[in-house]
Amino acid sequence: MVGICPAVSVVFASLYISPGMAESNLMDFFEITSGLEHQRRAAPRKDNIMRKLWIYILLSLLIIAGFTIPCSVLASTGAGGNAADFLSMPVGARDLALAGATAALPGDLSSIFKNPALLATDRGVQLQFSHQEWYQGLQYETFALATSLPQGLGRVALHCRYLHLAPITVYDSAMAEVGEVDVYDMAAGFSWAGRFVNRVDLGANFYNVRQYLAGDKASGWAGDVGVGLVASGIYMSAVASHLGNGIEYEDGESYKLDREFSIGAARFFPRTGLTITTEYYKPQFWGASLCSGAEYLFADRLVLRAGYSHLLESEGETAGQLSFGAGVNVSGITMDYSYRSHEHLGDVHAVSIRLLGGAKFSPFKFFRPSLGN
């Protein structure tokens, strides 16, 4: 019998050796065999998950590379030959306070403007509005509304960015006032993002860009693609932004958009409530920058922030800039404020309001593979 079925022989041997121990031996046997069977079945599933994970990572990198490599190859115009630079401005008080290093930092709906893949890191309905005061009355407004699709089809968002000035007074050659002109830049569109194998986020933004100055109008379509990866408590990102043919004026004159590429990483330390983030950022027509920031969360309510951006190719400009900010969460409503002193544009103040749908702001869940945990 032992030669035919070793497992059955073990059972009968156990019963024969000690009738009083029969029940416990049987329980031990079934626990051992069921454990081995579970391991045997779990191993292929784990291998399949890891295989799919690497496939998603490679596909994501190929997508990003396919959009970004031509940026450097086809760049034929320098600074000043592009348009819609407002697309590169910080969006929201959190982004400004952390010096723009938010492409790998979940937890804020405005981060989708830096990396659309971050839209997949949360659930439920979210609303975000931000107002920024710049030099000489220049104002920047942003709005975003996000919700989850049914049956695990990902998340979608509607968003708008609006940069504007008060009407500008126009004078003739004799310095006599002849009237006023309006000026604004705007980008409005939608986003989609989804999470795959509980670790990889893929997302895209699509938007229409418009510029208006004294009756001259220009418009065009553009998009961003981004990927995020959660691994060992670290969120990593890669993004290609402002992809498109540029904008065209009514008279046929066209300008390219300043395409951008960035890679970043963020880490949250649960024991201390500290999050650190860093990002390498390279526009097509300008020098690269390295940005870093830190965010300290106290009791899921109060947030203190600081950031530093360093221009790697300064060319006479001030190489580094500091920024600061704070936020408070009350009953799922978060209010953020940030401040940065700009070399040419003076002091910049930003205020943001976020509606989290009654949830506490806790970064811990964003740095775990499974959503909602």
What would the mean pLDDT of 2-12 be, rounded to a whole number?
A: 37
Q: Is the pLDDT of residue 15 over 70?
A: no
pLDDT at 329: 82
Asked if the model's pLDDT at residue 112 lies above 70, the reply is yes
Residue 345 makes CB contacts below 8 A (sequence gap 6+) with 134, 135, 138
Q: Per-residue pLDDT tens for 191-243?
A: 999 988 778 899 999 999 999 887 788 999 999 999 998 877 889 999 999 99
Between CA 301 and CA 299 the distance in angstroms is 5
- Cα 155 off chain centre by: 13
| pLDDT, greater one: 269 or 359 | 269
* Beta bridge partners of residue 169, listed in sequence order: 180
Q: Given a cut of 80, is residue 276 above it in pLDDT?
A: yes
The model's pLDDT over 295-334, given as tens digits with 9 standing for 90+, comes to 998 877 888 999 999 888 766 555 678 999 999 888 778 8
pLDDT on residue 27: 41
| CA-to-CA separations, 360 to 155, 199, 332, 334, 369, in angstroms, rounded | 20, 22, 6, 9, 19
pLDDT of residue 347: 79
Question: For 228-242, how does the pLDDT look when each residue is reduced to its tens digit (9 = 90+)?
Answer: 988 778 899 999 999
pLDDT average, residue stretch 21-50: 46
pLDDT tens for 123-151 read 888 899 998 887 777 889 999 999 999 98
Q: Which residues pair with 144 in a beta bridge?
A: 128, 159
CA 302-308-309 angle, 5° bins: 135
Q: Can you give the pTM of this predicted structure?
A: 0.75
What does the pLDDT read at residue 51? 60
Domains of the chain, with CATH numbers? 75-367 (2.40.160.60)
**pLDDT score of 159 more than 80:** yes
Q: Which residue has the higher pLDDT, 46 or 267?
A: 267
